[in-house]
Amino acid sequence: MAFRPIRDRSPGVAAALTAAVILTACGGGVSRYQGVPPEQIFAMADSAFQDGSYDDAIEALDRIVIAHGDWDRLPEARLMLGHSYFEKGDHLTARVEYQRFIDRYAGHASSAEASLGICRSLAELAPRPQRDQGYTQEAMGACRNTIVDFAGRDQAVRAAEISNGLRLVLAEKEYNNADFYFRRGMYDSAIKYYEFVVTLYSESEFAPQALLGIYHSNQAIGYDDLADVAREQLLRDYPDSDAAEAIRSEPSGSTG
């Protein structure tokens, strides 16, 4: 769920925005917010965020964090800071900001949103299946935390969806490993990775293909009895899959 703060269009905010433009013309950096109260700086950040000017939002929010540490809406500013980095595409920094929110404001009403932010940020860092999956594993752990800590809330449902998507990435990774060994005639290694897919990711689209791979690998080795076991499991558990359709056209190993 996208972050959409309520925008204040009061005359005071409009004046503050005008003042910010004038101050910017005189000098950049923190000076543009000199003497501006945090409520108005936050309104500037909100306006910049809504307009997609995430760098400007980050600059304004950083000013609040640095200069107004006792402001009663500081948690809201910190959360928007995480959202700003996320929307900017700086997912590593977004993850850090969300974690800071969790560390500083445990039990806050927006903790679920920050927790989901960590899950989403790490999921964005998850690489393609051909690459090392360290971030994928970390993202799944973060998503599980959100699911457990905020069960029944919308953020937990979204975290579960993200986690399921990441499981498909891992399943594809293991399947690609198996296929790599199969194509090189290293059937014992191929079977090991195919079995990982069937055991760990049985709900994925790669599971029936992995059983087909186990069947062909055992046939190539000469283990017709094990090939038949894989064939029977494929037809029993995934009867409507493309892999099952393919294997029906092939004779079983030992019963031919």
Rounded Cα distance between 229 and 7, Å, is 63
pLDDT band, very low/low/confident/very high, at 23 (cuts 50, 70, 90): very low
Q: Is residue 217 within 8 Å of residue 194, measured between CB atoms?
A: yes
pLDDT, average across residues 151-177: 92
* CA 121 distance to own-chain centroid: 6
Token representation of residue 252: 């079983």
- What pLDDT score does 128 carry? 62
Token representation of residue 102: 């969790």
Taking CA atoms, 74 is separated from 10, 71, 80, in Å, by 21, 5, 10
Instruction: Name the average pLDDT for the chain.
Output: 86
pLDDT, average across residues 189-195: 96
- What pLDDT score does 8 carry? 46
Tokens 């760990």, residue? 200
Helices 54-67 and 74-88 pack at an angle, to 10 degrees, of 150
pLDDT band, very low/low/confident/very high, at 251 (cuts 50, 70, 90): low
* CA 172 distance to own-chain centroid: 17
Q: Is residue 42 within 8 Å of residue 13, measured between CB atoms?
A: no
pTM over the 0.75 mark: no
Higher-pLDDT residue of 191 and 129 is: 191
